[in-house]
Amino acid sequence: MSCWITIQDYALRSIGIGERLLPKQDFTLCQQFTLIGSGMLWNIYFGVLALAAGFFFATALAMGKHARSAWLRKPSEWFIFLFRGSPLFIQFFFAYFLFLSLKQVAPMFSPFTAAWLGALVVLFCNTAAYSGEIFYGALLSIPKGDIEAADAYGLSGWHRFRRVIWPTMLRLAWPAYTNEAIFLFHATTLVYFSGFPAWRQKGDALYYANYFADKTFNPFIPYPILAGYFILLTLCVVGVFGLVNARLNRHLPQERRVKLRFRPNIIR
Amino acid sequence: MFSYCSDPSALDGIAWLSCYLTTGKHMAFYTSFGTVLLLLAITAPVALMFGFAGAMAARGRIAPLRWIGKAYIAIVRGVPDIAFFLFFVIALDQIIEWSRHKILCPDWTGPVRQGNDFVVCDAAKMPLSSSPQWMHETYGFSLAILTFAIVFGAFAANVMFGAMRAVPRAQIETAEAYGLTHRQAFWRILVPQMWVYALPGLSNLWMVLIKATPLLFLLGVEDIVYWARELGGSKTSKFTEYPHQDWRMWYFFALLVFYLMFTKVSEVFLDKLMKRLTRGQATTGGEAQRKAAA
């Protein structure tokens, strides 16, 4: 079987298009590359959606934690503490079993027991909490002069936030936020190892890599392939976030710009 | 455990719960918290040692050694660590068995990889198939510890490499001016001062290590996640004296609370330690302490 046929059969296997059965024996390199690459679709799906939605929630959380009113501050603080203080792995398990029990009471929760929605909700809350803390830190380090200048121009409320506070906060937080994004993509590999079932063997990249390692009893091929894919993904993320960083810093003289430094936060 | 537990079906409320929570299996569950703490207690110093060695190698003066150090630091970035956990456990096991195979059975001619199998001679099996159950468990646990130490050692190396570079250059120059050799300057001037720079990174790493402990479950150790799944699942009266619904949610809730408390306590403790270490240091924190006292 040529490699092209394998790609046709398995390139979209992770979302249920193509061959039903996974290869059982005589694994070729081509099969491993294709299937693990196919699984990456799920990692990208989880990462992109959780980041995009989590970004706005994180801004709200940071503003909430910064608020003077305890009614806003306490819930944000507790939310951030809850998701940053416990392992993502346990959060996944807890959420999965929580959704399972809720399903008994209200059938509307049944899609939440599937990974595509349930795990996404957990990742969304998790990244919102971590980014919220990053944004909060940036909020604290906004130069006092910037806000005084905004006041002097008569900006207040929404305008002051939109024109001065928010852009400065993002600019200061962006290098740390880039690391958070990389780190979130890595965290997506936990999904199918934490209770959420891979229905009809539709899993993510690590799920397939683990499948091959189990079947061939040879970890030295699938995991380096997975590593290669993730390094590519990381480079893409760094590239995209670098463009945003350049835009956020465009008004500053060259030497005062905040440099992006790749320093991932490791595990959660 | 209690005397009134002999007939659980006649009990209800608190009495039933007190019996239920003290069954033999629950005791195993509580012991597995000890497993987690044991893992942390062993892994943290070993990873620190790996990290120190890695950082030393990365700033060494011999080029190949430096490359090894830098590669060790760089390799775990960019790739999800859980992939490393899954990889190292099998890889280490196979490397150990393969080297034992080479040493113990030199006259074995067949290839080690036959199709989808990894075949070594019986004497090279690790642990031997005749050895008791506890040997197998200990071996599995040691592999898990080694895996954790390798991965977290790389993270620690990264932190310490940065910390060694953060020590003001003037300190080393002064040491050299006093005629200390390179080695003396490293051990007497650099190492004592680097910790205050390394501590924020290391305490972050400690939190991360705590939060990584549930991954033990993936490495095949019977840890708290294993027991929470096992005990929480719904039980009928046919198999147990304590039938109940699916309670896994509550078991994982308990784990969640356990980890939250653990990280909170660590945070408070590490803050205290940081205060202690900054005392008298030529940093912003140390200066602030001096001013506050004056």
8 Å CB contact of A227 and B205: no
* Cβ(A35)–Cβ(A11) below 8 Å: no
- The shortest C-alpha distance from B4 to chain A (Å) reads 32
Residue B1 is predicted with a pLDDT of: 61
Q: Look at residue A23 and tell me if it is in a domain.
A: no
- Tokens 């001065």 found at: A164
pLDDT (tens, 9 = 90+) of chain A, 268 residues, equals 688 887 878 888 888 887 777 777 777 888 888 888 889 999 999 999 999 999 999 999 999 999 889 999 999 999 999 999 899 989 999 999 898 888 888 888 888 888 889 999 999 999 999 999 999 989 888 888 888 999 999 988 899 999 999 999 999 898 889 888 988 998 899 888 887 888 788 888 888 898 888 888 888 888 889 988 988 898 898 889 989 988 988 888 776 676 666 554 444 4
Q: How many domains does chain A have?
A: 1
Q: Look at residue A7 and tell me if it is in a domain.
A: no
8 Å CB contact of A267 and B81: yes
8 Å CB contact of A87 and B91: no
Residue-wise over B136-146: b if at least 16 C-beta within 10 A, else e? eeeebbebbbb
Rounded to 5, what percent of chain A is helix, strand, coil? 75, 0, 25
Tokens of A214: 């189990």
HSE (side-chain half, CA atoms, 13 Å) at A200: 9
Mean pLDDT of chain B: 82
8 Å CB contact of B211 and A87: yes
Tokens of A209: 């890599």
pLDDT in tens, B276-292: 877 777 666 777 778 88
Instruction: Calculate mean pLDDT across residues B3-11.
Output: 69
Tokens of A115: 């990974």
Residue A267 is predicted with a pLDDT of: 45
The chain A residue lying nearest B266, using CA atoms, is A85
How far is Cα B248 from Cα B231, in angstroms, rounded to an integer?
A: 7
- The shortest C-alpha distance from B269 to chain A (Å) reads 15
Q: Look at residue A191 and tell me if it is in a domain.
A: yes
Report chain B residues whose CB lies below 8 A from the CB of A94.
249, 252-253, 255-256
8 Å CB contact of A97 and B205: no
Write the ipTM. 0.84
Residue B114: what are its φ and ψ, rounded to 5°?
Answer: -115, 105
Residue A216 is predicted with a pLDDT of: 82
Q: Look at residue A119 and tell me if it is in a domain.
A: yes
**Domain of residue A145, residue span:** 28-256
Tokens of B29: 């569950």
End-to-end, the C-alpha distance of chain A in Å comes to 42
CATH code (residue A149): 1.10.3720.10
The yes-or-no verdict on residue B157 having pLDDT over 60 is: yes
Q: Which of A199, A49, A233 is nearest to A125 (CA)?
A: A49
Q: pLDDT confidence of B265, banded at 50, 70, 90?
A: very high
Q: Which helix (H) or strand (E) holds B117?
A: strand B117-118
Computed from CA positions of residues B280, B286, B289, B290, in that sequence, does the dihedral angle turn out positive or negative? positive
- Matching CATH number, B3-293, of 1.10.3720.10, 3.40.50.300, 3.10.129.10, 1.10.510.10: 1.10.3720.10
Nearest by CB to residue A231, choosing from B78, B210, B217, is B78
Q: Which of B260, B252, B266 is nearest to B29 (CA)?
A: B252
Nearest by CB to residue A217, choosing from B78, B82, B118, is B118
Chain A / chain B CB contacts < 8 angstroms: 125
Q: Look at residue A64 and tell me if it is in a domain.
A: yes
- The radius of gyration of chain B's CA atoms, rounded to the nearest angstrom, is 25
Domain range list for chain B? 3-293
Residue type, A235: L
Nearest by CB to residue B263, choosing from A85, A190, A231, is A85
Secondary structure of residue A266 in the 3-state scheme = coil
- Predicted model pTM: 0.85
pLDDT in tens, B22-33: 777 788 888 888
Lowest mean pLDDT: which of B58-62, B116-120, B214-218?
B116-120
Instruction: Calculate mean pLDDT across residues B148-160.
Output: 87
Q: Look at residue A242 and tell me if it is in a domain.
A: yes
Q: Look at residue A92 and tell me if it is in a domain.
A: yes
Give me the residues of A, 89-148, that contact B with CB < 8 A: 89-91, 93-94, 97-98, 100-101
